[in-house]
Copies of this chain bind each other. A is one copy, B any other.
Amino acid sequence: MNKQPKVTAQTKQNLTDAFWSLYCEKRIEKITVKDITRKAGYNRGTFYEYFTDIYDVLEQIEESLIPSLDELPPITILNQNMGMPFDMFVKFYEQNSKYYSVLLGDNGDPSFASKLKNSIKPILKQAFSEKYDLNPIKFDFILEYVLSAMIGTMSYWFTQNKVLPLEDLITLINDLMENGVINCLSKLSNEYK
């Protein structure tokens, strides 16, 4: 006899959803298996049919959120405007914002930011290595710099409930990347007067 994939998939999803709504409210260490199953309407033991423990739920969610290489837009896009693909990054972020803004936020998981960076690095690396011939060690630091800045700014934008229109944010970040912080500051200062 076969399994009943529809039933189990639904149960697993219900448990995952219950976990997520709790994770949005409080730190993971304050969440009990009892909390999750009560919210989802199952026996506590059922949880262990699907997950080994509470961290397993988080890990599986995170896994589904790391962009796989093939689902990202082809690298050629990068070569068009030659800048950092912040807009591409924003789109991807917005698609998963429900999860991203929590995982990358103050009660999130710091290792998720690393996983995310590491999944994007090879793509940028390949794209830029076609154009530039770089000291690989320094290049790694530049990538870390760029991705930290992107992710940090992006998360901040979400916590601030998008006070800045998306278009303005993209323009600002591209400007910062393109011309540096100091130039950007003095330019903005002149505009504002």
Instruction: List A residues at the B interface (Cβ < 8 Å).
Output: 28-29, 82-84, 104-111, 113-114, 128, 132-135, 137-142, 144-149, 151-153, 156-157, 160, 163-164, 168-169, 172-173, 176-186, 188-189, 192-193
Which of B135, B164, B172, B180 is within 8 Å of A177, CB to CB?
Answer: B180
27 sample A-B contacts, Cβ–Cβ < 8 Å, listed by A number: A29-B29, A84-B181, A105-B110, A106-B114, A107-B110, A107-B111, A108-B110, A109-B110, A132-B186, A133-B192, A134-B188, A138-B188, A140-B160, A141-B153, A141-B156, A141-B164, A141-B172, A142-B181, A148-B148, A148-B153, A149-B149, A152-B152, A176-B180, A177-B180, A178-B181, A178-B182, A179-B180
Q: Which of A104, A152, A173, A183 has the most CB of B within 10 A?
A: A152
Please tell me if the beta carbons of B186 and A146 are within 8 angstroms of each other in the complex: no
Please tell me if the beta carbons of B178 and A128 are within 8 angstroms of each other in the complex: no
Q: Which residue of B lies closest to A180 (CB)?
A: B180
Residues of chain B within 8 A (CB-CB) of A178 are 180-182
Please tell me if the beta carbons of B82 and A135 are within 8 angstroms of each other in the complex: no
Please tell me if the beta carbons of A137 and B163 are within 8 angstroms of each other in the complex: yes
Please tell me if the beta carbons of A177 and B181 are within 8 angstroms of each other in the complex: yes
Residues of chain B within 8 A (CB-CB) of A128 are 185
Q: Which residue of B lies closest to A189 (CB)?
A: B132
Residues of chain B within 8 A (CB-CB) of A172 are 138, 141-142
Please tell me if the beta carbons of B185 and A132 are within 8 angstroms of each other in the complex: yes
